[in-house]
């Protein structure tokens, strides 16, 4: 393997900009700016603030990045950079750390999407991934995060409080589940066109809720509420569906308790994808997920809050 050297400049990291200089024998060298927009706008690290790509905010970011490039005497202009990755982000505020864990377990039962694989938290790498960061956690059970990834897209759910304490030694009082849809260049161009990075961010700002909601639907994680098994059976029984449909719904609830994912449950039931989707639509009508809360969970139910998607970080890159 050819040597690739990455130099990290952390001078501006507390203000929201990490600069990576990459030198390679095989390719042209390049510079990456990893930007936390909220921190860059405020001039200090903002662990929980989320960014909206409004016109005035984009102008503020543009101005500050130009200043940094000039201060470092980098051999390029801001317009030479290309948008390499964007993280679309949601903070789900939970009532307790127990609810954060329950929500994580619910996401672990997601549909196994074609071309996506669950990311191994124990995988090691000697250098930073071009499109996607290395996993946050390396404990064996991966109790604090769940990630599924494909070539140009990665979706991660993790305990934000744990991440802040582990990586930044910051303790927060809120119990937060962080959802991140990380989209890299090729996928970005399909979603936001091939214009400059500012135009792409503006387009993503218009479409961000639709993008992440569509992804959650593919995972079957867009149900209004998750309840205990007894409550699920009660609502199924009280519904106006035919007996055969109710039996199938109860069977799916039972399978979701014993199977690791929607995909595994569908296969156990011998249903094709079309029939399975039709069955899930019945659950939508009674406003609950086939996934149920564990008996030991001391919470009445987990509702899906209506929270806007915002940018947590953008990565722009240029060859030098």
Q: Give DSSP secondary structure letters for 113-175.
A: -TT-EE--TT---SS--SSSPPPS---TT-TTEEEEE-SSEEEEEEEHHHHIIIII----SSE
Task: Convert the pLDDT of each residue in 74-89 to its tens digit.
Answer: 888 898 889 999 999 9
Range of the domain at 64: 4-221+306-319
pTM score, whole prediction = 0.83
Does 206 share its domain with 238?
no
- Report the range of poorest mean pLDDT among 10-14, 72-76, 132-136, 273-277: 132-136
Comparison of pLDDT for 137 and 27, the residue scoring more: 27
Q: What is the tally of structural domains in the chain?
A: 2
Q: What is the DSSP string of 80-91?
A: G-EEEEEEEEEE
Task: Report pLDDT for 262.
Answer: 97
Same domain, 296 and 203: no
Whether 202 and 57 map to the same domain: the answer is: yes
Same domain, 67 and 207: yes
State pLDDT tens for residues 217-256. Answer: 999 999 999 999 999 999 999 999 999 999 999 999 999 9
Q: Which residues contact 71 (CB under 8 A, 6 or more apart)?
A: none
According to the model, what pLDDT value does residue 202 have?
86
Are 141 and 258 contained in the same domain?
A: no
């Amino acid at each position: 393997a050819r040597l690739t050297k990455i130099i990290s400049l952390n001078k501006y990291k507390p203000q929201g900009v990490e600069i990576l200089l990459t030198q390679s024998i095989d390719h042209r060298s390049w510079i990456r700016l990893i930007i936390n927009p909220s921190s860059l706008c405020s001039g200090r690290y903002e662990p929980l603030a989320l960014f909206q790509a409004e016109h005035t905010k984009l102008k503020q970011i543009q101005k500050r990045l130009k200043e940094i490039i000039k201060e470092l005497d980098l051999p390029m202009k801001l317009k030479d950079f290309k948008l390499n990755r964007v993280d679309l982000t949601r903070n789900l505020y939970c009532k307790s750390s127990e609810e954060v864990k329950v929500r994580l377990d619910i996401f672990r039962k997601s549909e196994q999407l074609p071309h996506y694989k669950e990311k191994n938290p124990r995988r090691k790498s000697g250098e930073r991934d071009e499109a996607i960061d290395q996993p946050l956690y390396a404990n064996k059970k991966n109790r604090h995060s769940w990630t599924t990834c494909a070539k140009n897209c990665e979706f991660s759910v993790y305990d934000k409080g744990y991440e802040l304490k582990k990586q930044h030694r910051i303790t927060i009082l809120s119990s937060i589940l962080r959802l991140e849809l990380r989209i890299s260049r090729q996928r970005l161009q399909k979603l936001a066109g091939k214009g400059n990075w500012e135009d792409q961010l503006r387009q993503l700002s218009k479409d961000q809720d639709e993008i992440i909601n569509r992804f959650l639907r593919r995972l079957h994680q867009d149900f209004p509420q998750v309840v205990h098994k007894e409550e699920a059976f009660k609502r199924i029984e009280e519904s106006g569906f035919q007996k055969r449909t109710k039996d199938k719904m109860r069977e799916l609830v039972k399978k979701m308790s014993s199977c690791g994912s929607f995909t595994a449950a569908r296969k156990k039931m011998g249903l094709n994808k079309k029939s399975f989707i039709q069955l899930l639509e019945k659950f939508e009508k009674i406003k609950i997920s086939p996934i149920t809360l564990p008996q030991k969970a001391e919470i009445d139910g987990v509702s899906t809050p209506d929270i806007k998607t915002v940018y947590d970080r953008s990565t722009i890159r240029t060859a030098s």
